[in-house]
Amino acid sequence: MKAEIIAVGTELLLGQISNTNGQFLARMLADIGIDTYYQTVVGDNPQRLTEVLDLATKRSDLIITIGGLGPTEDDLTKQTVAKYLNTTLVADQKALDHLQDFYTQTKRPLTPNNRIQAYYVKDATVLNNSNGLAVGALLTANKATYVLLPGPPSEFKPMVLNELRPRLVAMTHHDEVLVSRVLRFYGIGESLLATKLNDLIVNQTNPTLATYAKDYEVTLRLTAKAKDNETADQLLDDLEQRVQALVGAHFYGYGDENNLEKVVVNQLIAKKLHVSAAESLTGGLFQSMIAEVPGASSVFDGGFVTYALDQKAKMLNIDAAQLHKDGVVSEATAAAMALHSRAQTNAEIGLGFTGVAGPDELEGQPAGTVYIGLAYKDEPVVVKLWHFPRKRNDIRTNAAMAGFFMLFKKLQQKD
Amino acid sequence: MKAEIIAVGTELLLGQISNTNGQFLARMLADIGIDTYYQTVVGDNPQRLTEVLDLATKRSDLIITIGGLGPTEDDLTKQTVAKYLNTTLVADQKALDHLQDFYTQTKRPLTPNNRIQAYYVKDATVLNNSNGLAVGALLTANKATYVLLPGPPSEFKPMVLNELRPRLVAMTHHDEVLVSRVLRFYGIGESLLATKLNDLIVNQTNPTLATYAKDYEVTLRLTAKAKDNETADQLLDDLEQRVQALVGAHFYGYGDENNLEKVVVNQLIAKKLHVSAAESLTGGLFQSMIAEVPGASSVFDGGFVTYALDQKAKMLNIDAAQLHKDGVVSEATAAAMALHSRAQTNAEIGLGFTGVAGPDELEGQPAGTVYIGLAYKDEPVVVKLWHFPRKRNDIRTNAAMAGFFMLFKKLQQKD
């Protein structure tokens, strides 16, 4: 089944609102194994909407419109669909009663244009609106299936999940399941990941795999079709094993809604460890990312933003003369910051971030040069030198992420 | 000029990412008076992309593609456009050099597939990518103008604003200028702003005005058409005066690329003042936002992340018994944090952030309850109590922004 989504609304074309409904619907369709080949946005214009409907009918089996079911002058979707299919609109008595109730209850007059919301294309199945007044519709004509959905997200989403999804699953009556697994990687670009996995990507059949570049990381989605969940999981396990053998050094976790700081804070919680940090170029970003994770207060008591050299000495109780001698951008200073932030807060772990955020160079080092120190209990401090691309905020976020990844690897060793 | 936007990417069709670029571009086009009639999303499939290009060529004059300029196998937009227009791709030497620099600097291997990012459709004008490696392109063929833009928003947005917009303005406004002025507001919602400006919005002709809800703030764009810049500026001045009279209490600055922390850091630089902070619920976010602004090191030496109560006492040298008595979520503690962070770092200004980030309540106070203290030189500390909506990261970012706005207002008084 080839699906196509048509979002109707001039406010979308003007960029006044974002087409989040299109994304939500596309994800639901992908989830149940229906391929979407096109999404179109068209204005509240019957002629152009008719042309788009006609094109969609020629190239797709499932045509889903979003928006234009409301009571105002420019809501014309169901009228246009009915005309295109040479049919008429009829009233849904239940929806009319609901409409009448609503206006009685809110003590407002029921104007005639409001009644249109209870009408649907003749012979369609009515899709109930649990959160509003305009009914949706599903009907088959011209060998295609047409679905009409309302635009307001609060009405649209429940109708998609509760009214549309079960009907589409029943229609596509596949006796197979579709299971996805998302793997998350840090410290490798999308193109290098794709190069390393090239054999698997080129020869993919089932499961399929696809890379996605996110900010500062890459995700890989494996999707298996099978007769049941156990078989799908087995297929995913086999493929993941081959992926991990190739790029496992950069892997840190699973799931679309996950991130590196969540994984690390949860490692710390599980191991009952506390972390602190002294941040120079990152200016508090690393600690603020820790604090974003629910439960952070059980592993993080606090730390330091030591932007100027004299504050590194004073807050962290480091010898100022030594700092001047070593320089701000140095292995020794990163190590001292890590050690002293740990000691000052009685944490098991301390990190020190120092380097050049740019745009100018510092101590003869170019922007992007960053030293990160990691002090773990009484082990010798580890300091790693990083070279990030030269953009101020990218450098800072990259440095914070790199600190999390160093900590992730250290905690993994302790498993 | 009829525009049409084509976003290319299977991840869009699968609903894995949202088409925010399409909205951004549509808004820019509307802004400069170009009507967009269609937006299409199509997958990384040369045949379907060719069909969409062909349809667009028949019905539009300006065809803008987004995405598919990257280095991976499924990035095929420029190849497909070149083939559709019966032309070839050629390399941009400047982009090739930039690419080579990038890989040398980050000490990563330059794989052959990466070089494609420096290629563009022959005879096109190259659109430079200030934030990435893939160049864009603008060319005229078949009586239509084709524009190719990259997909990652951090590369896409600057290219739209700095490379594409001026060229489109030059193409469409021959004997008049179009001048926009963006006003930025904090602490007022979009609908309240629109209500207060209702008369101006309803009766707009030239200049036009439009509100946009951003994260944590609202912007208002005034756009004037005139025969020259002076006349346009005069029109904008007149309208802005009426706007400021109605909502000036929430105004903090100008410009699309501006933000509250930039304005505040620049105020501090101008006044040669230093700021510090002690952050509890915000966990370093306020300081990290300061550090994001170039030039921050001349006004910010450092500060504290005092997440746990004992660290508030120890790092800031506050009496622990008094903190226990006052409670973490209290006016007195916010005041003490502001005062002591200022004193500990010898800054003229100190801020203290304490409150409930949630999800659970704390000391009987609901999530969203935040006290922010501001100590300015020897003046009495000002503490303000805020009630933000209950979502963890929103609360933290809202609190940091509120701190900046308090500081903005204080510094404004000193003008």
Q: Measure A59 CA to nearest chain B CA, in Å.
A: 10
If asked whether residues A268 and A237 sit together in one domain, one would say no
pLDDT score of A214: 76
- Whether chain B has a CB inside 8 Å of the CB on A315: the answer is yes
Nearest CA among A113, A141, A111 for reference residue A125: A141
- Chain B residue numbers with beta carbons less than 8 Å from the beta carbon of A359 are 294
> Which pLDDT does position A390 carry in this prediction?
67
What whole-number distance in Å separates Cα of residue B350 and Cα of residue B338? Answer: 5
Residue B89 confidence class, pLDDT cut points 50, 70, 90: very high
Torsions phi, psi for B384 (to 5 deg): -120, 135
**Would you say the ipTM is above 0.90?**
no
A22 to chain B: which residues are within 8 Å by CB? 15, 19, 41
- The structural domain count of chain B equals 3
pLDDT at A93: 93
Q: Does B257 touch chain A (CB under 8 A)?
A: no
Residue B392: the pLDDT is 62
User: In chain B, pLDDT over 70 holds for what percent of residues?
Assistant: 99
Q: Which residue has the higher pLDDT, B111 or A65?
A: A65
Across the range A137-150, mean pLDDT stands at 95
Domain boundary among B254, B273, B291: B254
For residue B393, the model assigns a pLDDT of 67
Tell me the CATH number at B378: 3.90.950.20
Same domain, yes or no: A183 and A38: no
Interstrand relation of A2-8 and A35-42 (parallel, antiparallel or unpaired): parallel
Q: Does A345 touch chain B (CB under 8 A)?
A: yes
Residue type, A173: H
Provide the shortest C-alpha distance from residue B364 to chain A (in Å): 17
Rounded CA gap, A136 and A128, in Å?
6
**Which of B109-118, B293-302, B318-327 has the lowest average pLDDT?**
B109-118
Q: For the ranges A16-20, A356-360, B343-347, B350-354, which has the lowest average pLDDT?
A: A16-20
**Terminal CA-to-CA distance of chain B, rounded, Å?**
47
Distance from CA of B210 to the nearest CA of A (A): 9
Is the per-residue pLDDT at A215 higher than 80? Answer: no
Residue ranges of alpha helices (H) inside B15-152 are 20-31, 46-59, 77-84, 93-105, 112-115
Same structural domain for residues A72 and A91?
yes
Same domain, residue pair A137 and A283: no
In terms of domains, do B168 and B181 share one?
no
Between B143 and A215, name the one with better pLDDT: B143
Residues A73 and A142 in one domain: yes
| Residues B140 and B242 both lie in one domain | no
**Looking at residue A208, which CATH number applies to its domain?**
3.30.70.2860
Q: Name the nearest CA neighbour of A399 among A184, B108, A390, B157.
A: A390
pLDDT tens per residue across span B312-331: 999 999 999 999 999 999 99
Q: What average pLDDT score do residues B31-57 get?
A: 93
Q: Burial code of B142-172, b = ≥16 C-beta within 10 A, e = fewer? A: eebbbbbbbbbbebbbbbbeebbbeebbeee
For the residues B225-254, what does the mean pLDDT come to? 95
pLDDT at residue number B358:
84
Domain match, B311 and B391 both:
yes
Q: In Å, how far is B14's CA from the nearest CA of chain A? A: 5
pLDDT in tens, B376-408: 999 999 999 999 876 666 899 999 999 999 999
Q: What is the C-alpha to C-alpha distance for residues B187 and A313, in angstroms, rounded to an integer?
A: 38
Judge residue B59's burial from the number of C-beta atoms within 10 Å of its C-beta, 0-12 exposed, 13-18 middle, 19 or more buried.
middle
Distances (CA, A) of B358 to A173, A274, B134, B304: 44, 20, 42, 21
Please work out, in degrees rounded to the nearest 5, the angle formed at the alpha carbon of residue A316 by the alpha carbons of A315 and A318.
120
Considering only residues A87 and B209, tell me which one the structure prediction assigns the higher pLDDT: A87
Is the same domain home to A334 and A388?
yes
Which residue among B26, B40, B393 sits closest to A39, beta carbon to beta carbon?
A: B40
Amino acid at A192: L
Residue type, B266: N
Q: Which residues of A touch B292 (CB under 8 A)?
A: 283, 392-393, 396
pLDDT in tens, A218-260: 999 898 888 888 999 999 999 999 999 999 999 999 997 799 9
Which pLDDT band holds residue B86 (cuts at 50, 70, 90)? very high
Residue A287 domain boundaries: 260-413
Give the mean model confidence (pLDDT) for residues B80-100: 93
Confidence of residue A147 (pLDDT cuts 50, 70, 90): very high
Residues A9 and A138 in one domain: yes
CA distance A12 to B36: 10
* B205 Cβ under 8 Å from any chain A Cβ: no
B130: closest chain A residue by CA: A391
B91 beta partners = B119
Query: If contacts are CB pairs under 8 Å, which of residues 1-20 in chain B contact chain A?
Result: 10-20
Least confident interval from A279-283, B89-93, B109-113: B109-113
Which of B413, B401, B392 minimizes the C-alpha distance to B351?
A: B401
**Residue A290 sits at the chain B interface (C-beta within 8 Å):** yes
Tokens of A295: 């439960």
Within this chain, do residues A281 and A243 fall inside the same structural domain, yes or no? no
Q: Residue A295 gets which letter from DSSP?
A: T
**A366 shares a domain with A336:** yes
| B112 touches A at CB < 8 Å | no
**Domain CATH code at residue B41:** 3.40.980.10
What value, to the nearest 5°, has the Cα angle with vertex A300 and ends A299 and A305?
155
Which residues in chain A touch residue B342, judged by CB atoms under 8 angstroms apart?
none
**Sheet bearing A217-226, strands edge to edge:** A208-214, A217-226, A177-186, A251-254
Q: Is B23 on the interface with A (CB under 8 A)?
A: yes
CA of A216: how far to CAs of A101, A383, B68, B303, in Å? 52, 21, 19, 27
Which tens digits make up the pLDDT trace of A167-196?
998 888 667 777 889 999 999 988 889 899
A310 interface with B at CB cutoff 8 Å: yes
Helix H or strand E encompassing A217: strand A217-226
Query: What pLDDT sits at residue A105?
Result: 77
**Does the distance separating the beta carbons of B282 and A291 come in below 8 Å?**
yes
Which residues between 373 and 412 in chain A have a beta carbon less than 8 angstroms from any beta carbon of chain B?
Answer: 387-393, 396
Residue where one domain finishes, among candidates A254, A280, A295:
A254
Residues in CB range of A39: below 8 A, 6 or more apart:
A4, A5, A6, A7, A19, A22, A26, B12, B13, B19, B40, B41
Residue A41 to residues B23, B46, B316, Cα–Cα distance (Å): 11, 21, 56
**Given A227, A254, A281, which residue is the final one in a domain?**
A254
B38 with B56: CB under 8 angstroms? yes
Contact A308, B302 (CB under 8 A): yes
Q: Do B15 and A37 touch (CB under 8 A)?
A: no
Closest-CA residue in chain B for A392? B292
Cβ pairs A/B, distance under 8 A: 246
Sign of CA dihedral A27, A29, A35, A36: negative
Residue whose C-alpha is closest to residue B132's, from B67, B73, B74, B82: B67
